[in-house]
Amino acid sequence: MATDMQRLVGTSEDDEEIGMDVKDEDDDEDDYEENGGEQRNASGMVGIDGGNEIGTATGDNRFAQHQQFHEQAGTPGGGTRRSRPVEEKERTKLRERRRRAITARILAGLRRHGNYNLRVRADINDVIAALAREAGWVVLPDGTTFPSRSQGQKPAGGNSTILTSSSSHVASQQTPSPSLRGVASGYRSPLEYSACQTKGVFMPTPSPYDLSSTSRSQTSIVGDGEAQRDNHPLISGSIDNADEKQIADLPARLPERDLAGTPYVPVYVMLPLGVINIKCELVDPDGLLKQLRVLKSVHVDGVMVDCWWGIVEAHAPQEYNWNGYKRLFQMVREVKLKLQVVMSFHECGGNFGDDVCIPLPHWVAEIGRSNPDIFFTDREGRHNPECLSWGIDKERVLRGRTAVEVYFDFMRSFRVEFDEYFEDGLISMIEVGLGPCGELRYPSCPVKHGWRYPGIGEFQCYDQYMLKSLRKAAEARGHAIWARGPDNAGTYNSQPHETGFFCDGGDYDGFYGRFFLSWYSQVLVDHGNRVLSLAKLAFEGSCVTAKLAGIYWWYKTASHATELTAGYYNPCNRDGYAAIMTMLKINGVSLNIPCVELHTLNQHEGFPETFADPEGLVWQVLNAGWDVDLPVTSQNGFPCLNRVSYNKVLDHAKPMNDPDGRHFSSFTYLRLSPLLMERQNFIEFERFVKRMHGKLMNISNVSLGSS
């Protein structure tokens, strides 16, 4: 197990400082082989927060790295200590030396950039203790660890948590805290240095979460509801009965927040992308009806569905086909659920998570073949048909209509067609698509053009209409030479320090850079303002929301390069979200924030060099919205299946000790799938719904209900 912790945190600067020699590693390898490899495989899949990796943004990447590591460094199974070849032991020693070299660089970085006071001969316990103390915990000399606010009180069960090199122990005691979130007052990221100001925002007191590495409630699998769950027709998988010995062996847990009596936050579930096919027909209505009834049985408030522009107005301008949606909405009404509807003016397919292909309308594609500048364009002249360029918002290039007029006609047709659902209150919210993936941002990171995480992306302002706008802005400023995009901003997969524009002290903070970024971000705000003002007119009296993107990688660098290419002018010395919130407030629109389930520590584990901070980003955007009294909705950005991720959502949805008592107005779960319907995942989901509703949780009485 020592090897697992070395991979997670690192140990020391060189072989001698680690305090353990290669022979110790050989012993671990022998134990690994004698156990059939199970020990390391189990521990290697546990994140630093103890959650299942599938619930994080980089879970797939870390899983691939985990597999690659074992392919490169694995040993043949079934070996014993006495029969191991000498060559195998030499390979083991070589692997250990490589790991220690990486460890030396990790510790050097911690000392140089993080101001960690680690002794010269630091070992793994020193590193973990330093991290725990920074997180606000008390670490006694014998390793006993507990939260500082409950000093002198040991963890539940009376067993002290010893700081060892076991990854399971670390997973059970790591708790998010303000000092690790990167936005608390006085925090400075490694690359911001003293010249950069920190954005001070309210940070709620963290709750002591249950960080079980199994991502499930062990006690929820026993009790009166067990027989009913086993017989549920739509919940797949099996649950073994837990005997007394198993229950007695459960690890001690830290108590969770008591959310009984807290505000009621409605929970919606997003339907599959392909629930309506390209012919505007409802796919598998019988199966969907059964799933809707299961959701209703656990008191989900409603569902969210995309209304695709490429399906409804596919063949000719202003010829709308709503047939599939009519049948779907009627089914939802029969089950007595509510609806959140997305006006999706973008293409589906080609991005991560897309399992269907829904292009823009055919007649729009025909126009694009003769005039490709209606689409966003990068510096190399590559056009992206994912959505229309904002440069044609007021250009009559779509068969005599502007892009904004096309959006308005579509929304007005929907409002007229489903008037009865608005009158009955069945449609509770309309989310208006404002860019790629429905988010108010530029398509700066297109997978189809080769972008891969954690690239910074590219500016998308090179179609003739956007360049025309840039030229006018430069002339109005009196510097016509500025009518161009940056020529040193790198490519899609560049890193900030590799470019002259985004590096520390780069052109982004010069006179031209500030002019360009101000114009680029203002075009984004103006587009949102134009479309949302018409949306409020079309859906008068209804709740309308706009979704922002969770661009959290490189957040801890000075330039915030990825946010800049996406249109969010948010370097370390400027609040790039205030203008957007003001625009939303003027239009009476609520804010939708994604990625509220992600942990910053998880991102550091998978890609430590990207300086990602999803928690810091979420809290900055959330506070910017709450500062102007915007209603806030949210959704997860990646599959959310374990209790750690759900607790992170709850922490944002109902901030602890918020002096104003603010909370989310709703939360939408992404998305309905066979994975969610697996028995244990669904049990955990039901528990989450109850806590969002502010109901008292009695785990032994949880049941899935029947359809």
In tens, the pLDDT along 567-594 reads: 999 999 999 999 999 999 999 999 999 9
**For the chain, percent of residues with pLDDT exceeding 70:** 68
Predicted pLDDT at 123: 72
Q: What is the mean pLDDT of residues 145-158?
A: 47
Predicted pLDDT at 170: 28
Question: Is pLDDT of 626 > 90?
Answer: yes
589 near 580, Cβ under 8 Å?
no
Q: What is the mean pLDDT of residues 522-534?
A: 98
Residue 370 to residues 364, 374, 401, 405: CA-CA distances in angstroms?
Answer: 10, 10, 16, 21
- Reported pTM: 0.68
108-122, 172-186, 304-318, 419-433: segment of lowest average pLDDT: 172-186
CA–CA gap between residue 562 and residue 559 (Å, rounded): 9
Predicted pLDDT at 697: 52
The CA dihedral of 516, 517, 523, 525, to the nearest 10 degrees, is -160
Instruction: Look up residue 684 and give its two tokens.
Output: 């955990």
Question: pLDDT class for 120, splitting at 50, 70, 90?
Answer: low
Question: Is pLDDT of 75 > 60?
Answer: no
Predicted pLDDT at 408: 98
Q: What is the mean pLDDT of residues 111-118?
A: 66
CA–CA gap between residue 437 and residue 566 (Å, rounded): 13
The total number of residues shown for the chain amounts to 707
CA–CA gap between residue 707 and residue 232 (Å, rounded): 8
Predicted pLDDT at 496: 96
502 near 490, Cβ under 8 Å?
yes
- Pick the more confident residue, 616 or 66: 616
Whether the bond into 188 is cis, omega within 30 of 0: no
Question: Is pLDDT of 32 > 60?
Answer: no
114 near 22, Cβ under 8 Å?
no
Predicted pLDDT at 351: 72
Span 679-689, pLDDT tens digits: 999 999 999 99
Instruction: Look up residue 570 and give its two tokens.
Output: 């948010």
Question: pLDDT class for 83, splitting at 50, 70, 90?
Answer: low
384 near 463, Cβ under 8 Å?
no
Q: What is the mean pLDDT of residues 457-484?
A: 97
Question: Is pLDDT of 127 > 90?
Answer: no
Give phi and psi for 650, each to the nearest 5: -65, -35
How many CB atoms neighbour CB 140 within 10 A? 12
Question: Is pLDDT of 66 > 50?
Answer: no
User: What's the burial of 535, exposed, middle or buried (CB within 10 Å: 0-12/13-18/19+)?
Assistant: buried
Span 33-60, pLDDT tens digits: 444 443 333 333 333 333 333 333 333 4
Question: Is pLDDT of 158 > 60?
Answer: no
- Pick the more confident residue, 371 or 258: 371
Report the mean per-residue pLDDT for the chain. 77
CA–CA gap between residue 343 and residue 326 (Å, rounded): 15
Per the DSSP assignment, residues forming a β-bridge with 137 are 147
CA 11: distance to chain centroid? 30
Span 273-289, pLDDT tens digits: 999 999 999 999 999 99
CA–CA gap between residue 147 and residue 311 (Å, rounded): 54
Predicted pLDDT at 121: 64
Question: pLDDT class for 206, splitting at 50, 70, 90?
Answer: very low
CA 68: distance to chain centroid? 24
Please report the beta strands in 3-147, taking only residues with DSSP state E, as ranges in sequence order. Answer: 137-139, 145-147
Question: pLDDT class for 145, splitting at 50, 70, 90?
Answer: confident
Q: Where are the alpha helices (DSSP H) in 35-85?
A: 38-44, 59-73
Predicted pLDDT at 84: 61
User: Domains in the chain, ordered, with CATH?
Assistant: 88-141 (no CATH), 267-693 (3.20.20.80)
**Residue bearing tokens 């990486």:** 102
Q: Which of 6, 169, 177 is nearest to 599 (CA)?
A: 177
Question: Is pLDDT of 303 > 70?
Answer: yes
Sign of the C-alpha dihedral computed for residues 178, 181, 186 and 190 taken in this order:
positive
Instruction: Look up residue 204 and give its two tokens.
Output: 């709620």
Predicted pLDDT at 481: 96
Q: Which of 525, 529, 526 is nearest to 544 (CA)?
A: 529
Whether the bond into 454 is cis, omega within 30 of 0: yes
Q: What is the mean pLDDT of residues 396-420?
A: 98
Please report the beta strands in 148-301, taking only residues with DSSP state E, as ranges in sequence order. Answer: 267-270
